[in-house]
Structures are given as C-alpha cells and as structure tokens.
Structure 1
C-alpha cells in the first residue's frame, strides 16, 4: 500500500517533515494505491484500488468514490462505456452505440462488405434479387431449359434508385442467314416499347451470343434510353422515348426485334444504387 497522511503537523521536526513529504510524494506517485480507501480524502482525489483492480476518483461532495475504469484484465477498460459484442457490431440495423476492439471492428467491416449473411452492399453490382450475401440469389431471370423457346424475353421491373446490368449467356437462334440481337425499353408514361436497339453485329444461327451490357439509368427521367457494354461487334444506338420526362420500367430482349424464337441461353440481371432517380 502506498498511502500517506496529507495533514501538516506544525510540531514536526525537520526530519519528520521531510519523512512526511516523502510519504506524500510516494502516495501521489502511486495514485494512493491500496486495497482500502485512503483515510484522508478530498474531492477529485485519485485512488488505485488494488483489491478491485480499479481506478477510482473521489466525487465532488467528497462522500463517495466514482469508478473510472478497471485494469483487472491487464489492460485498462473505461467504466460506463458500452462494449459491443461482435454480433452487435455486425448488425447493420442496430442503433446500439459503444466501443469495439480492432478485431471486432474488422469482422464487422468484413461482414458488411462480403461475409455470408450480411446485408448486400447496394453500392456495388449485385444480383437484382439478392438481399443478403450468400442467400442463393444469382440474378437469373430467364433460362431456356425451363421455359422453352420464346420470341421475346422481358426483364423484371426496374426500381427507382438503381441502374442495371444485363448478362446474356449462350443466346441462340436456329435457321438461315444472320440476325442481330435487339433490346427495347418499355416506356412507363406511354405504355409502349421504344424502338429496338441492336446489341451487336449479325450473329450466325446456333452460335451462342454472350454479352454484358449496362442499361443506362432507366429510372432517371430522360428523352433517351441507352445501353453500353461488352459486345463482339457492331453498333449500339440509343432509343428516343418521345418526351423529356420518360422513364423505362423494364427491357425486352429478342432476335431482330422478334422475327424468330430465342432457342437457347440464360439471362441474368444485376443492379447497383444510384441517387439520381430516388
């Protein structure tokens, strides 16, 4: 225990006064460390409680001790600070505030970005139907092996606040000559489709067509609907929507604007958050 009296005694000899001063300085240096409280107290006084392994301070009325923190674990843990668990730190919907360790913080960040079960990060491209990472959603909205031949294939409806990416895998047609795959946007305000846009140059029959194209801000009011992306050849043009405030609510894919069936392939839709349309 390193505690001492702070009360001066005018009757002390020089040697006694020097010994008292040494004791006071030692007590101050150790924070009045001891298993029991100092006998003499004052408001704001610090006491290192070696029994409870805690740092305490005397309150302003000088009638009690305030626990500032604990060093029982070998490190100092401030009192009154809520320590978040890993589960609380990872919960994107939690409104609980508190301190976290670097390890828990790293795990929480990892969960928010890519860990299984975390809410999907909407700022990056992700399957349009994915809610949480690892929930099994892959964005597939059309599979020839399940539906059979179709003249037109429509995407799911677009939502405000997102831009979209269309991925076509192995789209085929059968017959003679060559054809161009085309895409059209459904104009929400008029209830009709815009003119078809060619996605590539002519494609031979029974040749799998593979492409990823970005559907440029379909929910942002505009007189145009455009696409861009990886295409093997040819030109991509923009559709005129017939007004300055037109929005596109879905897209339609076909061969040469629907003059023959789509006889093979799969189609996927992805999206990411934008803050123009809502």
Structure 2
C-alpha cells in the first residue's frame, strides 16, 4: 500500500490549498473544530464561524487570488509548524502586489484543527504596497505535504530556550528576522529584552516557538521618532533548526506593526 499523507499534514494541506488558495469558507467546517481560534498580532479571533472565518474572508477579499507557498513544514504528530509566504495583489491598493512571510503553529484534536498561533510580516506588506515593489517569494518546499511526525529532541529544546532567554532573536545573524532573508534591514527593536515563551515544541532537531518579548523601544520603525526608551512589547513566532555543535539557524517573524502601534499610542 502506498504511503499516505499524515492526517495532520493533510489538514494543513487543505488549509493552505482548499481554504486560503480557493477562498472557500465551506472547507473550514471540514477541517476545523467549531471552537477553532487563532492568535495573531496580539489579537485572538475566537470561534470558527463567529470570528475566524469572517475575519479571514475580509483579508481574502482584499487580496483576490491570494496564494500560500509553504517553505518548511515540521510536526511531532500533535502540533505542526509551517513557515510560509502569502502573496497576491491588493484590491484596496489598485492591485499592487506583495509577498510577505509568516510562521504558524497549529494544534489538533486528532480529527480537526483546534487552534493556531501565527505571525505574519504585515510591516513588510505595508512597505511593498506603498512602494508598489513586491519582495520575491522564497523557494517552496519540494514536498511540504510529505512531512512525517518526528520525535521530540530535549537537547535541541534546551539550547533554543537558552538562546531565547538571551533576548537575541536575530542570533547574531544566523537566524533571519522578518524580511531580512531578502536583504531588508531588521535591527533589534527592544533593549534589555525580557522573553516569555508561550509555546515550544521540537520535531527532531527542528524547534518551533511562540513568545512575547518586552523591553525598551530602541527606535527604527516609521513615525516613532522621540518614542525611544518607551517600554513596549511584541509577540514573535520562530521555526529554527539546531545543527551540530549547537548552531541555530532559521527564521523568526515579529509583530512590528503591533509594536509600532503600541509605541505611537
């Protein structure tokens, strides 16, 4: 018998292709629990039909023909992490195109998706729409839906937690922040940061995490001059790989839009 797509991976395939790719809300009832919720940019959309579907349809209507490209997919069988890009034209901006990255961590109950913590780089999307110059789309995973559950690696988790405790989300250049992978400047935004890890799991030597980070605002975001030193916080989600010798490489997406909004307020 030919190998089958793991059922959790199949849910994410349908989420990416049938739901977001076709903008078909009928798919949601088939792949999501009624209590499904998403935490994104510090906001929770609770209830599949109450808040999540209407909120997401508003985005899909703004970006007609939106596509999702999966770059990395890892799972331990209970949770699954996906690094992806969304890309398409904005109907609200005279069909200007944009491509922005994101990382999501999903959980399920053995049958349907129950929750999702995601960060998408909306700061980068705003820049691209304003300049009408889209970023490139990173190369897709060759076979994203062939991912299979990998056992947890406690040593990899320990190394990642120690790194996160240091506050250096950029990992001195070996971990790409936001749109830094395509040459954009992505400096640290918070001084003396304190990190609270909300979720972390490993699948082999790959580690996914969601966190909140607080500290002194260092500046660097548009229209925030004079707000340096303000106490501020942002959320972030990462997907990294622990290599030989404890090297850590990968990607982190920060909620720069939410941080800018909080600093300006």
Q: TM-score, normalization: structure 1?
A: 0.23
Q: TM-score, normalization: structure 2?
A: 0.24
More helix by share: 2
Q: State the structure with more CA Rg.
A: 1
More strand by share: 2
